Amino acid sequence: MRGLSSDFRTLFEGQAMHEKRPALSTSIDDLPVLTEMAGDRWGGDFGPLLADLFAAEDTSLMRALDGSVLAFRNADLRALSANRDLGNLPAPLLTEAFEASVGAESAFKRLAANHVFTMNPPSHGPMRQVFARQFMPNKVDRFRPAAIKATRRILAAASGRPEIDFLTDFSFRLTTGFWGELLGFSQAEVSELNSLVPHVSQAFSFIRTDEQTRLVERRAADYLALVSTGIQRSLDVGPPDYLVEMAAEFENAEVEKPDNIALMLAATLLDGFHTMAFGLTNVVHALLTRPEQWRAVQNDPALVPNAFHEGLRLAPPAVFTQRYALADVEHAGVSIPKGTPVTMFWLAGNRDPDVFPDPDAYDLARPVAGRTTFGGGIHLCPGRSVAKMVIETALAELTSPHIEVTVTGAADQWVPMSSMHELERMPVSIEAR
């Protein structure tokens, strides 16, 4: 669950500034202050903003006006990821804006509360494993036929049309079709998901009107009802083996947990629908805007995994997530008190020049090590392997000799002021040769 606390939202409304850090720092108050960021800098390719951040060589962690801590250097992100005293941002803090607009009985708050990514010990580990164990690297190949089927169905529907928006007409349809196939959803249910998921994803925008928040709230309620009901139906009528194993592990877990497995899976799979869609779009965008790289992958399918990793290094779908100090934490000489939010700026970690030479360049031969695309530590994305499999499956189909993909309009505008790295539009045509 990738969201933004309401207090943190105020940091993105002006011009980026920070003060130099003292030689020694013992408390958050001693950190350099990131006072504000302008909307035109929090988006796009983040290049100017990151150049400013990394230019201050003696600056590690930073402080925001609300008292939260910002980690942006690769080494700090990786070290903090491994610290078990940094947990997930609790759902009540994540959903403050929704409560303010729609009241305490918020459907989005209910969704967040049942999402694995807002749980903390002792529930977090066992509940995370319920999901993660079924999508380990050695298990995802059993889901590849569903990914191929969904990809080819969408390719057939898109081929010959003068123009489609790749994100809405291809990527979202692929993720909803893929998960719908695994969960036994009808085509009508998959179509409904296509209309719901993009609206629920607006929850990750920094700036919404009350009316927009209420729309997200209504769509979140519809999404949670549709997906949890569909999962429960699959469990009742003869579920696939992986759902049987999930349900058994859920029931046997002796920790506080959601009311049922269907509710937890529905909430957690929201990321499976929208983050995977953004990831696929960003990987394809990185190649299509570099025609020589697209041709390289066409000529050598073995480069598909390289294209996946490098595309998401430059444009990971999650710009950042927020962690939460479950106890007092000491890092790099800084004392982070219990209860402090810590913002993990993953995109910046992927562009750290200390780890990635020429960090803004696209390099298919770049080593994979050191990337922060999927977070790290005990919070490493549990769906990363299935996301990799689905995106690579789609990319292999799109770059095959019998498919031609052409950019048909401007595809360089990123949604501003969001915790997700999402293109506003990516117009393409797809032709089967």
Give pTM, 2 decimals.
0.92
At residue 35, the pLDDT reads: 57
d(C-alpha 384, C-alpha 58), whole Å: 33
At residue 95, the pLDDT reads: 85
Tell whether 37 is covered by a domain.
yes
Give the structural domain span for 328. Answer: 8-432
Tell whether 391 is covered by a domain.
yes
Tell whether 80 is covered by a domain.
yes
3 state SS of 404:
strand
Tell whether 278 is covered by a domain.
yes
- All residues at 6 or more sequence positions from 299 whose CB lies less than 8 Å from its CB, including other chains: none
Structure tokens at 414: 């990123």
At residue 1, the pLDDT reads: 56
At residue 17, the pLDDT reads: 44
**33: enclosing H helix or E strand:** strand 33-34
At residue 97, the pLDDT reads: 74
Cβ–Cβ < 8 Å for 197, 176: yes
pLDDT tens across the length of the chain (433 residues): 554 444 444 444 433 444 444 444 478 888 887 754 444 556 666 887 888 888 877 778 998 767 789 999 999 999 999 999 999 999 988 888 777 777 778 899 999 999 999 999 999 999 999 999 999 999 999 999 999 999 999 999 999 899 999 999 999 999 999 999 999 999 999 999 999 999 998 888 888 888 888 899 999 999 999 999 999 999 999 889 999 999 999 999 999 999 899 999 999 999 999 999 999 999 999 999 999 999 999 999 999 999 999 999 999 999 999 999 999 999 989 999 999 999 999 999 999 999 999 999 999 999 999 999 999 988 999 999 999 999 999 999 999 999 999 999 998 888 888 889 999 999 999 998 8
At residue 26, the pLDDT reads: 74
Burial (CB count within 10 angstroms: exposed 0-12, middle 13-18, buried 19+), residue 314: buried
At residue 303, the pLDDT reads: 98
* CATH code of 386's domain: 1.10.630.10
Tell whether 1 is covered by a domain.
no
Residue 123, CA distances (Å) to 53, 103, 130, 264, 389 in order: 36, 26, 11, 12, 28
- Tens digits of residue pLDDT in 217-274: 999 999 999 999 999 999 999 889 999 999 999 999 999 999 899 999 999 999 999 9
Closest CA to 34 of 12, 59, 14, 17: 17
Q: DSSP assignment of 107-168, as one string?
A: HHHHHHHTSGGG--TTTHHHHHHHHHGGGSTTTGGGGHHHHHHHHHHHHHHHTT-S-EEIII
At residue 23, the pLDDT reads: 45
For residue 301, give the DSSP letter. Answer: G
Tell whether 3 is covered by a domain.
no
The Cα angle at residue 315 between residues 352 and 63, in degrees rounded to 5: 50
What is the tally of structural domains in the chain?
Answer: 1
**296: enclosing H helix or E strand:** helix 291-299
3 state SS of 78:
helix
CA 254 vs. chain centroid, Å, equals: 29
Structure tokens at 426: 């990516």
For residue 85, give the DSSP letter. Answer: T
Neighbour tally for 23: CB within 10 Å: 7
Tell whether 162 is covered by a domain.
yes
Locate the DSSP E strands across 40-118: 62-64, 69-71, 86-88
Tell whether 389 is covered by a domain.
yes
Neighbour tally for 365: CB within 10 Å: 7
At residue 44, the pLDDT reads: 65
